Amino acid sequence: MVRWEPGARERLVVAAVDLFIEQGYDATTVAQIAERARVTKSTFFRHFPDKRELLVAGQETLSRLLAEGIADAPADATPLQAVAAGLVRASSEMGPFNRELGPRLKAAVAASAELQERDALKTVSLAAAMTAALIARGLPDSVAALASELGVLAFKRGYAEWSEGDRDAEDGLAAHALTALDELRAASVALG
């Protein structure tokens, strides 16, 4: 094992997701994840408090970016236009690593009740960050909450489509998330 090699955090996430798929979440140990990632256990613990936290790696950054995009939207933006600005801001930070990881992460989550629970908590956290940003813009709580839920759903749908799509395409996540938001907006009108 080398003493130091760049990209330890990303390697830990990939190693964990791959091991979760191969042998299941419960059967995977921190030692196995560290070994697969070519780092020590102490390096693992410098990045993550435990293996559950691997799934939500980057969640705080994503929440912050969504909220910043909403806050920076033009003053006359509608609630969903502000959400769209948040989606664009957050999407700008998602690159090839995130795109490659998407399908594998989806498979790992689908196979583990505990990871499904962590994913649900992540969704709630993202919605809460967006709701707070919309309320700070002066929106009523119910409008902010509904716009945030649509935003999170659009982000998740857009991310799934983007990460499972053509790897050679040069489309970014933002285009997929905004398309999903437009589809959800149209669907909500159909509710009556």
Domain with 19 in it: what CATH number?
A: 1.10.10.60
94 lies in a domain?
yes
75 lies in a domain?
yes
Asked if residue 66 lies in contact with residue 87, where contact means CB atoms within 8 angstroms, the answer is: yes
159 lies in a domain?
yes
pLDDT digits (tens, 9 = 90+) for 7-36: 888 999 999 999 999 999 999 999 999 999
Q: What token pair was written down for 61?
A: 């950054």
pLDDT greater than 50 at residue 6: yes
Q: How many structural domains is the chain composed of?
A: 2
pLDDT of 95 reads 86
**34 & 86 share domain:** no
pLDDT of 31 reads 96
134 versus 164: the higher-pLDDT residue is 134
**Which of 2-11, 51-60, 68-77, 119-128 is least confident?**
2-11
**170 & 83 share domain:** yes
Round to whole Å and give the CA distance between 142 and 133. Answer: 13
Round to whole Å and give the CA distance between 96 and 102. Answer: 10
Which residue range is the domain that position 176 belongs to?
56-190
In the structure, what pLDDT confidence band is assigned to residue 114 with cuts at 50, 70 and 90? confident
3 lies in a domain?
no
**23 & 118 share domain:** no
101 lies in a domain?
yes
The phi, psi pair for 150, rounded to 5°, reads -65, -40
> Which helix (H) or strand (E) is 162 found in, with range?
helix 141-164
Q: Which amino acid is at 149?
A: E
64 lies in a domain?
yes
70 lies in a domain?
yes
pLDDT greater than 50 at residue 2: no
**100 & 14 share domain:** no
Round to whole Å and give the CA distance between 148 and 170. Answer: 28
For residue 122, what are the CA distances in angstroms to 68, 69, 115, 166, 186? 18, 19, 10, 26, 26
**84 & 140 share domain:** yes
182 versus 114: the higher-pLDDT residue is 182
The sign of the dihedral angle between the CA atoms of 7, 10, 13, 16 is: negative
pLDDT digits (tens, 9 = 90+) for 49-58: 988 888 777 7
* Residue 161 belongs to domain with CATH number: 1.10.357.10
Round to whole Å and give the CA distance between 83 and 77. Answer: 9
